[in-house]
Amino acid sequence: MSQIAPFHLFPSTVAHALDVPVVFDSPHSGTHYPADFDFTVSFDELRRAEDTHVEKLYAAAPAHGATLIAAAFPRSYIDANRSLLDIDAALLDGAWPGPVNASRSMIRILPRACRHGRLMTSSSCRVCWKAWR
């Protein structure tokens, strides 16, 4: 992934005594398309695979003592809600460094529908996924 952080963190904006132990997360909010995201569908089709703007629904959380974390990358790049084992290793440019237990879903960590066989580096996938976790 490029120089942009994989997520945006919005901590509580109230006095520490008023903080609440709640974290709102928006793992599909990102609209930064990294240089290694070599998608093959049209941009409009790509956007249909995303859930952008959820972070706007949670935008008031920090003002009420909670923390908000929002992904910078789109779900069409990496679905951070999936298990790290749920990887389609055929979409990577090299060996996956851990176990694989891919689901039957076409989404997985790397959405196949947006790639049509284009490969991604395993390091980019791990950086985004692990940063989210």
Residue 95 lies in a domain: yes
Q: How many domains does the chain have?
A: 1
Q: Is residue 91 part of a domain?
A: yes
Question: Could you tell me the pTM of the whole model?
Answer: 0.72
CATH label of the domain that carries residue 56: 3.40.630.40
pLDDT tens for each residue of 20-69: 999 999 988 888 888 777 777 788 877 877 778 888 999 999 999 999 99
Predicted local distance difference test score (pLDDT) of residue 110: 57
Q: Identify whether 1 is part of a domain.
A: no
pLDDT band at 96 (very low <50, low <70, confident <90, very high): confident
Encoded tokens for 36: 């290694």
Decide if 62 is inside a domain: yes
Q: 2 lies in a domain? A: no
Residue 63 lies in a domain: yes
Average pLDDT, the chain: 77
| The predicted structure's pLDDT at residue 1 | 44
**Is there a domain that residue 37 lies in?**
yes
Enclosing domain of residue 78: 7-132
Residue 118 located in a structural domain: yes
